[in-house]
Amino acid sequence: MSNSGKGSPSEVRVGFITGDIHHLPFAIADNATVGGGQSFYETNGLNVTPKGYANGGAIMDTGFGTNQTDIAYLGAAPAISKHLNLGRNIVNTSIIAQTNEEGSILVADMTVNSASDLVGKKVASPAKSSIQYLMLLKYLEDNGLNISGDPVPYNGTVAYKGAVNYTDAGAGTGKTLMQKPVNSIDHISAFIIWEPYGSDAVAGKVGHVLSTSHDIWPDHPCCVIVVNNQFAAAHPDIVNKFIAAHKQAINWINGAEASSTSADYALLVTTAKSFTEKNDTVVEAALSYVKYDYAMPASFKTMLEEFAQKMIDFGLIPSSKLTYNGNDYMSVQDFIARYVKSDYL
């Protein structure tokens, strides 16, 4: 994609989730028009080789697990769960920047107007390794629900109302499954997904917004930039350049969004349409749910600690994985303190 053709730019293999507007900073940093003739990657001396993946779990399993990726955009939840569950001997990674906060929505069909309406119905997320699944579990717990057959006992603080049935539904499939006949085994009544797929279903009048990730976990971190630690140790200059381009991209996005009548905003929407293959209506609705930021303040790390602890509480990560296959973390707090590295910001 990016190649300035001048000298020998530093090469970096970059993973991202295809069609995910959370990863718009990648498309912006890679856009020569945004950069005034050269992309932000090129002006920082980088030669980027991109590779799209279906979800963050695949990026960790395949991208990092089989050494196909040096740096990647993915959700904080799969970055945490896969690092712990697979062990540092397989995915030796670190979080080095934030990409966005919030940006997921829970879409329900027209028969569902409250959480209690979901009892006995089928609900989906993209994958159990996704941050959306974690959000779904928290939404259910906060509303007195859980997932049918879950071996972890319900321990919410509100009265128990019942269970929902769960299934995976990859990005882009939730809308289709919701349109299946109600008596079909494939029909789902609700799904939580990263944008723009939720807004696409709403714009198509297939469903409505039951809840947003802001409602479920206000200001929560969502996607992050993860690096292979061996690559970072060997090429710290490349990682520094990559984060410099990432910061430029996010600053440009936030500047463009500040003025919806500007040429930069029009270019932002055009780039987002191309990246997500959605129309203006869907893209602009999706952007309204996402906050782009690269910073990792103390509050960011505290919320990642909450994520990790919740994943342990929900049985997604056995606590024994803190000291598994190369992991040597004394606690969740120790893990996050060492897994999140602000050196490159």
Residue 327 C-beta-side C-alpha neighbours within 13 Å = 28
Class of domain 104-216 as given by CATH: alpha beta
SS3 of residue 254 by DSSP = helix
Q: What is the pLDDT of residue 9?
A: 62
Position 7 pLDDT exceeds 50 = no
Fold match between domain 10-101+222-339 and domain 104-216: yes
How does DSSP classify residue 9?
A: P
Across the range 27-50, mean pLDDT stands at 97
Please give the Cα distance from 27 to 13 (Å, whole number).
14
Alpha carbon separation from 230 to 50, 88, 193 (Å, rounded)? 19, 11, 32
Residues 60 and 79: beta-carbon distance below 8 Å: yes
Across the range 257-274, mean pLDDT stands at 98
Please give the Cα distance from 62 to 72 (Å, whole number).
12
At 247-258, the pLDDT tens digits run: 999 999 999 999
Which residues, 6 or more positions from 300, have their beta carbon under 8 angstroms from its beta carbon? 98, 221, 340
Across the range 56-71, mean pLDDT stands at 97
Position 10 pLDDT exceeds 70 = yes
Domain ranges in the chain? 10-101+222-339, 104-216
The closest of 210, 10, 237, 1 to 123, measured between CA atoms, is 210
Q: What is the pLDDT of residue 151?
A: 87
β-pair partners for 147: 164
Which residues, 6 or more positions from 183, have their beta carbon under 8 angstroms from its beta carbon? none
Give the helix/strand (H/E) hosting 318: none
Please give the Cα distance from 191 to 118 (Å, whole number).
11
Retrieve residue 230's tokens: 């061996």
Please give the Cα distance from 257 to 269 (Å, whole number).
10
The closest of 216, 218, 202, 203 to 107, measured between CA atoms, is 202
pLDDT grade, residue 183 (50/70/90)? Answer: very high
Question: Inter-axis angle of helices 263-276 and 236-257, to 10 degrees?
Answer: 120
According to CATH, the superfamily of the domain at 10-101+222-339 is Periplasmic binding protein-like II (3.40.190.10)
Tell me how many degrees the CA angle 300-290-27 measures, rounded to the nearest 5: 100
Retrieve residue 232's tokens: 């970072």
Position 2 pLDDT exceeds 70 = no
Across the range 114-127, mean pLDDT stands at 98
